[in-house]
Amino acid sequence: MGNIDRIIRILVALVVIILYFTHQISGIAAIVGLVISGIFVLTSLISFCPLYAILGLSTCKKE
């Protein structure tokens, strides 16, 4: 997983978390958003996305 991909995932997760705590989203949308945000943060921290591996995608720079 490339650095830009990791940064985007963390920013999206932060936006969803902020929306939740400011009560802009609630209910099922909030639960789904928070779960996806957690997955985004986790995959960003470990620099590995299982879905990318399954699909054969890579966002790393080619050397």
Residue spans of the domains in the chain: they are: 3-55
Residue-level pLDDT at 55: 82
Residue-level pLDDT at 22: 96
Percent of the chain with pLDDT over 90: 63
Mean pLDDT score of the chain: 89
State the first-to-last Cα distance of the chain, in angstroms, to the nearest integer. Answer: 14
CA distances from 55 to 17, 49, 51, 52, 62 (A): 28, 10, 6, 5, 18
Residue-level pLDDT at 57: 76
Give every residue of the chain whose pLDDT is below 50, as ranges: none
